[in-house]
Amino acid sequence: DLITSLIVDADFLSMGEEVQQRCVCFVAAYRNHEECSNEKLSHLLEALKNSTTVHITTLNLGGISLEGTNRMIANMLKLPIRLTRPLCEVVHRKARGNPLFVRMFLSVLFEEHALTYSLKEKRWLWDIDDIRQTSMDEELALILSQKVSRMSQDVQQALTLVSCFGMRVEGDVLRM
């Protein structure tokens, strides 16, 4: 866990000259609401901001623009941007410009047959009214849990077991 390791190793702030002789760069990413909900992270960020030995550069990244979302969807569906504009407007609003949510929402639309490929027309088609009615959960975890719940019981049990090994699992563990 990035936050825990940073908090545990935060003693470097009190090292003074020793730190000044070393160059260290680390990058951390978090959502703005996570800073408020995680007291340890808030304290660490405040300590780093107040440090005289650490230089911090903060980049606030928002969602992608409506035009960016349209280019992304047009690229994914291999269609001109003029054709994807109505779809983009609905998807962008529901995904709040988050590219990961855009991708996940398009997958949900495909799975629910609201986004289909027409062999006759040789292109993707959608019913914009159906898409407007499709719910977009605020949290990615809910979307992912919905996807997992559609998997077979065996796959769900395997995922539960594998999740105990952490974020990365070696192939040997999967073959057991």
Token output for 71: 């280019």
Q: What is the largest CA-CA distance in the chain?
A: 71
Task: Convert the pLDDT of each residue in 151-174 to its tens digit.
Answer: 888 888 877 777 666 556 666 666
Output the pTM of the full model.
Answer: 0.55
Q: What is the residue whose two structure tokens read 């606030």?
A: 60
* Vertex 103: Cα angle to 138 and 80 (nearest 5): 130
**The predicted structure's pLDDT at residue 83:** 96
Please, which pLDDT band fits residue 59 given cuts at 50, 70 and 90?
low
* Residue 158 to residue 147: CA distance in whole angstroms: 15
DSSP string, 124-163: EEE-HHHHHHS---SSHHHHHHHHHHTS-HHHHHHHHHHH
Please, which pLDDT band fits residue 100 given cuts at 50, 70 and 90?
confident
- Alpha-helical (H) ranges within the chain are 2-8, 17-20, 32-37, 39-50, 66-77, 81-95, 99-111, 128-133, 140-149, 153-163, 171-175
Upper half-sphere CA count for residue 53 (Cβ side, 13 Å): 15
